[in-house]
């Protein structure tokens, strides 16, 4: 599975995924900071990468239908500080070992993950 970590997440999020053996690039790695959501989505689809973000716009299935993506993981957290975000990423790692978010939207909350096809 390949991932792109959005610019609104700490770079350590990408490092956590890389340590698990995933192919990960960040929006910063590709100098895409400030790009529109539509452009980021298009790049992810072209590269066949699931996007991990805290941008709740990506949770809008009318604008970003899950079936048309290589996966969207949206973190909907009460706190968005680095430590809290990294803990959320750590919580999804065991699930990623069993399931892939391809053509799905995962909304990761404080205590649960909702998955939409």
CATH of segment(s) 2-116: 3.40.50
Please give the model's pTM, rounded to 2 decimal places. 0.95
Percent of the chain with pLDDT over 70: 100
Nearest to 91 by CA among 3, 16, 14: 16
- Alpha helices (H) in the chain, listed in sequence order: 11-19, 37-47, 82-98
pLDDT-based confidence at 17, cuts 50/70/90? very high
Would you state the pLDDT for residue 88?
Answer: 96
Predicted local distance difference test score (pLDDT) of residue 12: 97
C-alpha gyration radius of the chain:
13
In our burial notation (b when 16+ CB lie closer than 10 A, e otherwise), range 97-112 reads: eeeebeebbbbbeeee
Write down the residue that tokens 């998955």 correspond to. 115
Residue ranges of the domains in the chain?
2-116
Distance, in Å, from the CA atom of 64 to the CA atom of 13, rounded to the nearest integer, reads 23
The predicted-structure confidence for 41-86, as pLDDT tens digits, reads as follows 999 999 999 999 999 999 999 999 999 999 999 999 999 999 999 9
């Amino acid at each position: 599975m390949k991932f792109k970590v959005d610019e609104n997440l700490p770079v350590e999020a990408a490092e956590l995924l890389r340590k698990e053996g995933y192919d990960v690039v960040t929006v910063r790695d590709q100098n895409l900071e400030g790009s529109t959501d539509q452009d980021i989505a298009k790049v992810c689809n072209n590269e066949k990468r699931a996007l991990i973000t805290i941008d709740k716009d990506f949770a809008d299935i009318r604008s970003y239908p899950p079936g048309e993506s290589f996966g969207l993981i949206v973190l909907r957290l009460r706190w968005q500080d680095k430590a809290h975000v990294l803990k959320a990423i750590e919580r999804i790692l065991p699930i990623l070992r069993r399931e892939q978010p391809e053509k799905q939207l995962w909304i990761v909350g404080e205590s649960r993950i909702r998955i939409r096809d």
